[in-house]
Amino acid sequence: MFDSSNPKLCRRLLDSMSTAVLLLDTELRLQYINLAAESLLAISGRQLQHAFIGDIFVNAEQDVHDIKQALQMQHSFTKRKAQLQLLNGRLLQGDYTVTPLLDFKDVSVLIEIQGTNYAERITRDENMISTHETTRELVRGLAHEIKNPLGGIRGAAQLLAAELPNSELTDYTNVIIEEADRLHKLVDRLVGSRKPMEFRKLNVHEVLERVRNLIEAEVRDRDITVIRDYDPSIPELYGDSEQLIQAVLNIVRNAVQALESPHVIHRSGLIELKTRIMRNITIGTVFHKLVTRIEVIDNGPGVPPELIDSIFFPMISGRAEGTGLGLSIAHSIVNQHKGIIECKSQPGRTRFTIYLPVLSQTPAPNLFHASQSGK
């Protein structure tokens, strides 16, 4: 590929970069694309080998003209805030730099692309992780302050019940005791279990199949179908299988409840479980060479726009009868696996996406451990 004494090293170096890189020949045909560019542009280098740059970026006549001119004049240029339409129809916003190459035999143009939406996602992920850490500490402190008086109320009700002259009056003290117990359980779910995670190698599809079997049993008499679209090439990752099952189960159950909403306008509900492998992805501020992407997609009414930015916080729910704990617990579990959850929603299509890094060793446990309870 390269007129170099060590082309394999060149390839390894380029594939290790987080910047998207494309190498073109004198006819502006693709000779090489690194892994970051494949991920950013959602294309395969093998399928588009020798493809013309104008066929990779759709309706980009002006950009192609500028690249040709740069090659002819042998000068570099950078275009800021460019909008490039990809083959899949998605619009990529970002900056790109074009550099003519003189010392290589088979390649003449180097294109480096930095997607601004990619940078925005990194910032958003980092802010979400930081905000949730602060929220969890606040909830834990608040829960401690609530549980102390609850214990006193329950104990006083028991003493009062023992002193009542009429046994019929104990119905009132029983209500106090039962409600105190209910609030205590609710607070426990907010704080989460103290049981440490048990990380070991696992197959992510075994996790999803367990969830699928549980959900299909629950919706057997309902018009809801669960379909699968798995990538069998995904390697094993380190994680707590039971906790990940709980996280995905909470998300899928949330989809089921959305599909049973009175606002649903379709005849049948559809939930899709989808997996893909991603390369050179940054989660928060940490760069990962391999990341497993899990998607839960439903054709329900969608998440209300006013809730989309806070849907993973405790006690936030779009349903009157919801506790707002299921998605918060799912986010906590994924966060302990050094991953992140995103949600994109519009009427008729809601997609929850989980990114889990494929780690070479067991990740360090966090101080906070999410509950295994569901909604």
Domain limits, the chain: 7-119, 121-191, 200-357
Q: What is the DSSP track for 278-347? A: EEEEEETTEEEEEEEEEEEEE-SS---TTTTTTTTSTT--SSTT--S-HHHHHHHHHHHTT-EEEEEEET
Q: Name the nearest CA neighbour of 101 among 215, 1, 232.
A: 1
Half-sphere exposure of residue 87: CA atoms within 13 angstroms, side-chain side: 14
Under 8 Å between Cβ of 375 and 326 = yes
List the beta bridge partners of residue 30: 24
What's at 364, amino acid-wise? A
95 φ, ψ (degrees, to nearest 5): -110, 145
Cα distance between residue 288 and residue 280, in whole Å: 6
What's at 100, amino acid-wise? P
What's at 243, amino acid-wise? Q
Under 8 Å between Cβ of 54 and 28 = yes
CATH topology of domain 7-119: Beta-Lactamase (3.30.450)
- Each residue's pLDDT, cut to its tens digit, for the chain (375 residues) gives 444 556 677 888 888 787 889 999 999 999 999 888 887 887 777 778 889 999 999 889 999 999 999 999 999 999 988 888 888 777 888 889 999 998 777 889 999 998 765 556 656 666 666 666 666 666 666 676 777 788 888 888 888 888 888 777 888 888 888 888 888 777 776 665 556 788 999 999 999 999 999 999 888 878 889 999 999 989 999 999 998 998 999 999 999 988 887 666 556 889 999 999 887 777 766 778 789 999 999 998 888 888 877 777 765 555 545 456 778 888 888 988 989 888 888 888 899 999 999 875 555 444 333 333 333
CATH 3.30.565.10 fits 200-357, yes or no: yes
